[in-house]
Amino acid sequence: MRIVFGADHAGFDLKERLVEHVRSRGHEAIDVGTHGPASVDYPTFGRRAARKVLDGEADRAVLVCGTGIGIGMSAGKLPGIRCAVVSEPYSASLARRHNDANALAIGSRVLGPGLAEMIVDEFLDAEFEGGRHARRVGMIEPPADAC
């Protein structure tokens, strides 16, 4: 699987660890930055990673900022991105299985690295169940004439 990673300065160190973690599991990791601890704007990197998913260059996105909230909100603004902000593995699994989430956002200031790895593993290992969930996922995106 191709996983794109994006992070701001607060998420930089955890992103680096998670990139290596998914590579050790045999996945391809695409790193769109940031590439250092200098202060940057999280929307830039959330959107950059989300765009890779929408363009078909990545299967899923993993996003990291201080809480996961800002970068997740930024990515989720792009039509077609279903980003789940989670802080524990069960929600990461359900986000995939029930909501067909294609992006995961986590917070480096609220999670330890071991827990973050478990969350990413659940997100990558779970598959969308379809069925009754497919109808609901279809309702997430507003109709084109609703805006």
Choosing from 27, 35, 83, 98, the catalytic residue is 98
Q: Is 65 a catalytic residue?
A: yes
In the β-sheet with 83-85, what is the strand arrangement from edge to edge?
A: 28-31, 2-7, 60-65, 103-107, 83-85
Pick from 115, 128, 103: nearest CA to 3: 103
Signed CA dihedral, 142, 102, 87, 110: sign only: negative
Choosing from 27, 65, 83, 147, the catalytic residue is 65
> Are the C-beta atoms of residues 58 and 3 closer than 8 Å to each other?
yes
Helices (H), the chain: 12-24, 42-54, 69-76, 89-99, 113-125, 132-138
**Would you please indicate which residues are annotated as catalytic (active-site) residues?**
65, 98
